[in-house]
Amino acid sequence: MPDAHPLAEPPSLDPPDWEHARALLHAAADRCIEQLRDIRAHPWRPVDARLLDAIRLDAAARGHGLDDAVERMVGATLPFHSGNVHPGFFGWVQGTGNVAALVAELIAATMNSNCGGRDHGAVYVEREVIRWCAGCFGLPDTTGGVFVSGTSQATVLALAAARQQALGDESRRGGLSGSVPLALYAADGSHSAIGKALELVGIGSRMLRTVPVDAGTGGMDLAALAALVADDRAAGVRPFCVVGTAGSAGVGAFDPLDELATFCTREGLWFHVDGAYGAWARIADPPWRSLVNGIERADSIALDFHKWMFVQYDCGLLLMRDEARQRATFAARPSYLESQQAGLGGGEPWFCDYGTDLSRGFRALKVWATLHAYGVQHLAALVTGNCRLAAYMARRVSAAPELRLAAPVRSSVCCFGVAVDDDEDASRQNAAIAVTLQMQGGCVLSTTRWGGRTVLRAAITNQRTRAHDIDACIDAVRELAARRPIDFAEATPWRPAPTAKLP
């Protein structure tokens, strides 16, 4: 027997009894599967003392053990999800997740890969998913890409590359010093992520030119865009980028991407597409697919899998037509990151050269699992089905005397509200309906401002929704709209609506 080592070693974090850990994990997996299986009985609910008491960390100096941690997570945390796993969830723009990606999350956590670089399985999976996505969006073989948290982060990276393209590679070190002011153009109603990204890349959100939209299509008005660009040039401002939105966060509007691509080519501007959810119309049936005609001509596309590809949060992607431009914008390899000819330290190219993150998780696996398990045809049918459900919701709204459609439904977003002429009164009622529905524990709608009033907004990016969920939602809204004044939710105790128990 060798002598015991003289160091006093704390035990590792591994379980002393692996069989016990296995049983705990299996039991937790059972509870997760059961929650998803019975999800209709588990709509969003307000956080209560059960969770707050269970998560207190005041006594965390000494560990409470794996059993206790698992019980608090499964027993007290799991029920308080954010609602988007429920089939009646249509708020904001959020996806549902899926079981293949859930298993992928477990496997990715087991591998605990750092996908910033080096030579290991996860980076090959990420490259393969990016290759598939580039093909799906009609981008050339020169396309680069990187998984990020979401479209907001992808937009920052895209605008950094666009800025560098405009100012030259020296601007990486010199920043904006000495350059003329740069301007970016995006349609009225485009996402706030664009202004934030402009702030972060040093250009400033004041240089975001808001382009009016065409009243008929809701997409960017090309004549107005041309006029704004010409005005800026005349004033000594340098236009550098146009952002086309595929599916706006307000009413789900689509800009005319093909025409924008032509304009950008003519004017020498970077063409970025914010396709956070709407890019996936690319795989839908006609007529929805044509909403994104021209996306294949973009210099960069920001999109999410956690919205309309039903993959668990967080999961966004930046695609860039010119991989060399992406590398020129971000590559930085100090000596401690030099790559090797072979071995674990090989495996060029490294993803840390395609964005800002060096330490990166294995997001691509849950996308790979989703694509491989269900196939593009099934996912496409769900995307198309969501568009059909939104059109069905619009028909139900139009047929209800208490309700009024706020904007034409173009893809899977339906905005509507009470049929009341006074904007203030209508806004108050629509806002109260949204909160009351949430507090009832049935369907979830959010609100947006449109046509001078607050309206209800359903964004259907939900693989679980069926027509009867739309019926239940519209019936519930009609019931509230008929009730004057509407009960304010503050006075409404949370109770799962009867619709939550549907099979």
Ligand X SMILES: Cc1ncc(COP(=O)(O)O)c(C=O)c1O
Residue 191, interface with ligand X (CB under 6 A)? yes
- Closer to ligand X by Cβ: residue 209 or 478: 209
Q: What per-residue string of b and e applies to 231-261 under the rule 16 or more CB within 10 Å gives b?
A: ebeeeebebbbbbbbbbbbbbbbbbbbbbbb
Nearer to ligand X, 43 or 91 (CB): 91
The minimum distance between CB 163 and ligand X, in angstroms, equals 19
- Among 74, 93, 161, 317, which residue sits at the site for ligand X (rule: CB under 6 A)? 93
Give CA 306 to chain center in angstroms. Answer: 5
Options 139, 211, 276, 279; binder of ligand X; rule CB under 6 A:
276
Residue 161 C-beta: closest distance to ligand X, Å: 17
304 is a site residue for ligand X (CB under 6 A): yes
Applying CB under 6 A, does 436 fall inside the site for ligand X?
no
Work out how close the CB of 93 gets to ligand X at its nearest, in angstroms, rounded to a whole number. 4
Beta-ladder partners of 253: none
**Taking CB under 6 A as the rule, does residue 198 contact ligand X?**
no
> Tokens 């990020």 belong to which residue?
148
Task: Please choose, from the candidates 302, 214, 206, 297, the residue with its C-alpha nearest in 3D space to the C-alpha of residue 251.
Answer: 214
Give the side-chain half-sphere CA count within 13 A for 274: 29
Q: In what order do the strands lie in the sheet with 182-187?
A: 144-148, 316-320, 300-304, 270-275, 238-245, 182-187, 208-211
Smallest gap from residue 220 Cβ to ligand X (A): 13
434 is a site residue for ligand X (CB under 6 A): no
Q: Does 151 bind ligand X (CB under 6 A)?
A: yes
Site for ligand X in 310-369 (CB under 6 A): 316
Q: Does 249 bind ligand X (CB under 6 A)?
A: yes
| Number of residues that this document lists for the chain | 503
* Apex 68 CA angle, 67 and 71, nearest 5: 85
Of all residues in the shown chain, the one whose CB is closest to ligand X is 150
d(CA 50, CA 303): 36
Which residue stretch of 45-53, 159-167, 273-281, 433-441 sits at the interface with ligand X (rule: CB under 6 A)?
A: 273-281
Whether 145 contacts 317, CB under 8 Å:
yes
C-alpha separations of 447 from 251, 277, 400, 412, 416 in Å: 10, 18, 19, 15, 9
Residue 274 DSSP class: E
Q: How far is the CB of 75 from ligand X (least distance, A)?
A: 30
Among 158, 193, 437, 439, binds ligand X (CB under 6 A): 193
Q: Considering only 214-222, 270-278, 413-421, 478-486, which stretch makes contact with ligand X by CB under 6 A?
A: 270-278
Q: C-beta of 332: minimal distance to ligand X in Å?
A: 24
- Site residues (CB under 6 A) for ligand X? 93, 150-152, 191, 193, 245, 247-249, 274, 276-277, 304, 316
